[in-house]
Amino acid sequence: MTQPAYRHMQAAAYGRIIFTSSNVGAFGLPWQTNYAAAKAGLLGYAMWWRPRVLPMASAANAILPQALNTSMQNPSGRPPYAPKDLEEMAAVIAPFARFMTVENVAALVVYLASRECDLSGQVFSVDSGHVARVFVGVTPGCLRRTRHVRLRRTWLRTWM
């Protein structure tokens, strides 16, 4: 779907791509690693588009809405490998359900689709009336010229 839209964006020299993934793609879901991996892949795909759309004054961003009361989270339809305390987890989240609305997500989509938005290659989490930019980065790390065993011990002391 993205590539045909991209051809139109090239012809118009303008466009917006907004990928919809899930908070699970960035933060995980212990009993649904396959779903989390698929949603994380969509985030990587959104990042891949950034350098391709920027020369056209276009943008590609991703949003991660939090889902509630879906078949994956519904205790009655839970898979056998789901945690035993799933019902308790759902009860904790329940008070926030009234803030998890389509309107909260739609407001961000409208902004990202507008000409006023100059953001591209960004990922946003939308959850309970809260919108936040999700950041993935690389630290400076450490490089020490020592023997392999000493390097491993030094690295463990430094970073763990």
Catalytic residues: 35
State both tokens at 121.
């290659």
Provide φ and ψ at 133, rounded to 5°. -80, 130
How do 16-20 and 59-65 pair as beta strands?
A: parallel
b/e burial code for range 24-33 (CB count within 10 A of at least 16 → b): bbbeebeebe
